[in-house]
Structure 1
């Protein structure tokens, strides 16, 4: 549906990744942009790179038709008080696909500095399931939404398709990636209403598989100082959130390193503790948020309550409240089988 080649064809010369060497996981434009950011020196990178603002790849479309459905109400605490997000009624025909996304809900009153809680979590971690497995390939299964994004000509209404990817990779060896394109999902009810009669593609899921060329990935450090550098904590909590998601989405992070990552994040100013939450896959977790007031965004990280693995990350626009992007890390492992 919106595979790598079709997206690049649509974007053409504006594609910021068109001259980049391939590097797994090749999941979206934002992944390739993140690779470029990781290779740039903070002191010389332009402001757009140093910023925590997410820059999704956008396509402007305005024709076609599809029938869609919606989700449920959620309440989220943002600067200025709780905000209720109402996605609207479900498609009465029962045949539609897609939903209006609402923020992950957390309990009111869970708003305290996250540092002490993150350190306590780090001190009590247990092994993750993948630490009892072995194999030459690192494997991840992820679900992402928010890139590429299709927008109306006036940039007011948007829609994106969820993607489930599976990636197998090993340093210096060929790898493999499979991608299943899912149904359309919407950041707000107004976008759902707008695209209901204009979306020019079928909601039927499509799948593709591509080989990944050999590449050498930087070794995952284990000390706090090295991890702080890898997480770009000197740039603040926003970039640290993005790099945390990138690390857990690429590596099978060992327990001691997970603990150090949590301790590093505990020292970053701005994280707030949000307590127990349920992610979009129905898993229980512990959440922290960071409000980027300069860019009217909120970053959310959800960690496994016992292993400290990153389960999910989200980016929310605060004014008005609407989803910008989400990622679920559904499975991590090691294997000798490629695909």
Structure 2
């Protein structure tokens, strides 16, 4: 879902450049200006349309600093006192704390036990035309400094109502900036201090969804293995589990089958009890992809087997690369 790391994971052994070291691309001043033009003024406010990871070249630093001011606000509401630099704001993301941090056991036995005991969730007793999902995401796009060290991205909150034919509505709200470490927060605060901060909160963007033929869900293990791309390994499976739960209202039988399919994928480790970014209790599994210096994290509800969240972390140093939290899933008769 997020950037080149996820793409490499999905391609797996089929990636012809899997052993190549690819540095951050340089972005020209012209391209930055073109990207800035994607920002609309709506009701006197600025709204950002995410496109891709932004890497700021040293030769375009002056333009970049201006872009930082446009991509703000660092805080929501009124700006700081005139004449003073904007106060540092935005969350520094901390990795989820694992019950089993060192030498975690293989996840297979625990995933099978979880599959055997899961219970119904609220939407198992609902019906409706639209699949509803309320999610919070961070990590796409990410603005990166020219040296590749400092990162910032805006969290976003999305509510989607989607029918089986793909149609429906989506409401997306840009939230606060978030940082993978304190050094990044300090860096971007310094870059923005000399520029006027934008005021107000960006208006939510509302758009209709285009028709799309959504493939019906099945609890058949062979079909799920194909859908979750397990042939490419645990990293690809992690990505596609997040996609599955972010688009479908997954019934109990399929939830159990997903857990059993993951139990047979080599590489997943059991991390035990965790608390997700919404403060909910969960159980977690991870997969370490040392070749690409990243870790995939899946957090499940220990009672229903639902996916609560998925994350991608950089391993060296350990920091958050992206996250998605599924705040609500339901059936609905009308789109929002």
Q: TM-score, normalised by structure 1?
A: 0.75
Give the match for residue 131 of structure 1.
Answer: 124
Per the alignment, residue 89 of structure 2 pairs with: 97
List aligned pairs for 1:123-202, cutoff 5 A: 123-172=116-165, 174-199=167-192, 202=198
Over 3 Å counting, the alpha-carbon distance change for 1:167 and 1:47 in structure 2 is: farther
Runs of 4+ in 1 over 4 A off after TM superposition: 45-49, 64-69, 93-96
Aligned to 1:241: 238
Pairing of 1:261-280 with structure 2 (within 5 A): 261-280=258-277
SS of aligned partner of 1:198: helix
Residue 156 to residue 110, structure 1, CA distance change in 2 (3 Å): closer
Measure, in 2, the Cα distance between the counterparts of 1:281 and 1:252: 20
Please tell me whether residue 258 in structure 1 is matched to residue 251 in structure 2: no
Q: Deviations 1:41-94 (Å, cap 9, x if unpaired)? A: x99x65479x9x9x992123334567969xxxxxxxxxxxxxxxxxxxxxxx99
SS at the partner of 1:302? strand
Shift of 1:110: 6.8
Separation in 2 of the partners of 1:296 and 1:46? 16
Deviations 1:288-328 (A, max 9, x none): 11111111111110000010000001111011111100000
- Structure 2 gap segments, 5+ residues each: 25-50, 57-63, 76-84
Alignment partner, residue 23 of structure 1: none
Partner SS for 2:255: helix
- Deviation, structure 1 residue 109: 5.1
Bigger-Rg structure (1/2): 2
Q: Deviations over 1:31-50 (max 9, x none)?
A: xx98xx99x9x99x65479x
In the superposition, relative to structure 1, how do residues 156 and 268 fare at CA in structure 2: closer, same or farther (>3 Å)?
Answer: same
Alignment of 1:9-158 (within 5 A): 46-47=15-16, 57-59=52-54, 60=56, 61-63=64-66, 64=68, 96-107=88-99, 108=101, 111-158=104-151
**Alpha-carbon offset, residue 174 of structure 1:** 2.6
Structure 1, unaligned runs of 5 or more: 1-27, 70-92
Q: 1:302: which partner in 2?
A: 299
Q: How many residue pairs end up in the alignment?
A: 281
